[in-house]
Chain A
């Protein structure tokens, strides 16, 4: 008799957690971090995003809650076709439930469509194009950290209002550069400024002198760099060489990350003004995160993309826990329903079009004399409140938003 009770008990115990998580596919929540791990965007996202995702899972206490979470990662090499085939393989064969990060807007737009077709979930932190919550918005995607509209609104506005009313764009020739250029141009024109010219360079260009020369002869007050990563650092470095700033023109780095500033060094980067949604030295919580992160990522301090991955994965796990399911479409809907709260971005929300809402910061790079420690790089010039930092819901042409 006793033996029989023991067997029943054992069976119940064995079934217990399984019953509770009956809706979790294969009993495992599988997170795929997809980004550039070998080329110009590898430091600002790359393995750092994997570290951030892992920290989010640990801090969430998935183990204690009986949730089994696995993280896989892959390098999309900044190629949409490579990224697409990895996404398909992950969803179809490897049972990945959610893909996160995906810098490079070209790749993100492709994975956005695949995720929607397969009914999975996509949490974008690395990619910039505001189309992800505009005409390409999807019930399966949340755009977490920043977007081209927010950058244009933050940096573009600040510059035009301080007199930078004529612009020349040096733009990366793919989805991201085009979107950023378009959004900044709109801000410039809205504020009464003019765009005198633009030039488009292939992704991952080493020499910008030719483009800088064209910018110089345009006589525009502001040279807007609608590119990112290594392209931006090379542009800034070579602009100094050709005396762009000495000649009275100003550089506007439209998307600059703290890793870019680190690579340039303060003597070259000082005085740059740009928009970020995260800085490790904002408050005690972000400082604690920055320190823990740097210890695990070769001393690199977290970029806003890394912070976004942490925050997005945290919120995703909360939604899965509440829903007891990892069905992509349902989890994304739940994530939009629940308010967000994490140590890095504070309290926030996710809008119907998939836009995560939080404040943005206009930062200025410190002079070498002002910097007290390695990675002490920014002065916060202004905080753009959450309700003004992103494109208003009704202006994005997202089909999910009822008018």
Chain B
């Protein structure tokens, strides 16, 4: 059997694929963060909590309304996105004129409060959520068994990421959004309702987080703390990709998933730290991130 550094190539393929799957969560979450930062200049630390709320929304829909996974995929992002809009209208709105730090502190505090409330109510062991029957099982690829659900996650998140990128970078609506970040008062002068646009953008970013949460629910336990650790990694991804760069966050998300996957083969003990090592190196060489622009 052919080997690379003592690891059979077949096993390596498996690990690369797994990395890609984990990368799709990083990509979706960092995309939402990038959209919010790019257009609102808010460092949304509540993103992990909103991801968790997405997963819980799926759980509640199933338990209380009897609506399964597919419904959750549509309803949970809308519900959590609306909560995001309320947060933006009542709290974040007041902070735009201030330093980034205030937004960060507010959203960080919100995240702690939300996670604390959920933990108090639902404990820390998590709640069960099954894979939808249509996607159970897996197919044998020769070098590994690929669970159907994971394949679905990769495809779905790739499509979502590309669609988001297309809307922001290639459509008229996206052009408005980007113009509004450069010069809000000028865009407003052209008759565009900038505050409403910003509100909807935040709602959209939050909805993306919730969508990732629904995708994650059948894989991980639906757990009040599921976003707390992830958000730190995702921030590292955003920093490596370049704050506010849409394409950068998508590419870096997938790439770092793969790097992390490989670390789990060669030196698993370091799999929690490898992303932060890369972040430190990137910050030393390119402080604006791999795809970032100087502002």
Contact = CB atoms under 8 A, between A and B. Distances in A.
A242 B268 CA distance: 19
Given A206-B220, A242-B138, A300 B269 contact: no
A201 B268 contact: yes
A229, A242, A300: which has the most chain B beta carbons within 10 Å? Answer: A242
Interface in A70-128: none
B72 interface: no
A259 B223 CA distance: 13
Given A214-B265, A263-B128, A42 B223 contact: no
B127 interface: yes
Contacts of A243: 137-138, 145, 147
Given A38-B119, A230-B223, A234-B220, A207 B22 contact: yes
Interface string A172-210: 010000000000000000000000000111101111011
Given A213-B144, A243-B138, A237 B11 contact: no
Nearest to A237: B221
Contact of A241 (B147, B226, B269): B147
Contacts of B221: 230, 233-234, 237, 263-264
Interface in A311-337: none
Interface size class of B (residues with CB under 8 A): 35 or more
Given A209-B18, A230-B223, A241-B138, A42 B147 contact: no
A398 interface: no
B123 A42 contact: yes
A200 to B, nearest CB: 6
A229 B272 CA distance: 18
Contact of B131 (A43, A214, A241): A241
A243 B8 CA distance: 21
Given A202-B269, A211-B268, A214-B11, A43 B130 contact: no
Contacts, number: 116
B14 interface: yes
Contacts of A44: 125
Interface string B197-237: 00000000000000000000001110101100110000000
A210 B127 contact: no
Contacts of A238: 219
Contacts of B268: 173, 199-201, 210-211
Interface in B255-282: 261, 264-265, 268-269, 271-272
B123 A43 contact: yes
Contact of B226 (A205, A206, A214, A300): A206
B259 to A, nearest CB: 12
B193 interface: no
Nearest to B273: A202
Nearest to A268: B128
Given A242-B147, A263-B128, A42 B269 contact: no
Contacts of B131: 241
A39 interface: yes
Interface in A223-260: 229-230, 233-234, 237-238, 241-243, 247, 259-260
A242 to B, nearest CB: 6
B126 interface: yes
B144 A205 contact: no
Given A39-B225, A259-B125, A260-B125, A242 B8 contact: no
A229 B221 CA distance: 11
B14 A213 contact: yes
A241 B119 contact: no
Contacts of A385: none
Nearest to B120: A298
B125 A241 contact: no
B176 interface: no
A205 B8 contact: no
Given A237-B220, A242-B145, A42 B119 contact: yes
A267 interface: yes
Nearest to B263: A210
Nearest to B233: A206
B10, B130, B264: which has the most chain A beta carbons within 10 Å? Answer: B264
Nearest to A217: B11
A265 interface: yes
A168 to B, nearest CB: 13
Contacts of B144: 213, 216
A156 B37 CA distance: 52
Given A213-B14, A230-B125, A241 B261 contact: no
B60 interface: no
B271 A201 contact: yes
Contacts of B229: 204, 206
B2 to A, nearest CB: 14
Contacts of A262: 125
Interface in B237-268: 261, 264-265, 268
Nearest to B226: A206
B15 interface: yes
17 contacts: A43-B123, A201-B268, A209-B22, A210-B268, A210-B271, A211-B268, A213-B18, A213-B144, A217-B8, A217-B10, A217-B11, A230-B221, A237-B219, A241-B149, A242-B147, A243-B137, A267-B130
Interface of A: 38-44, 46, 173, 199-202, 204-207, 209-211, 213-214, 216-217, 229-230, 233-234, 237-238, 241-243, 247, 259-260, 262-265, 267-268, 298, 300
List 9 tightest A-B contacts by C-beta distance, closest first: A265-B128, A263-B125, A210-B264, A42-B124, A202-B272, A43-B125, A43-B123, A241-B147, A263-B126
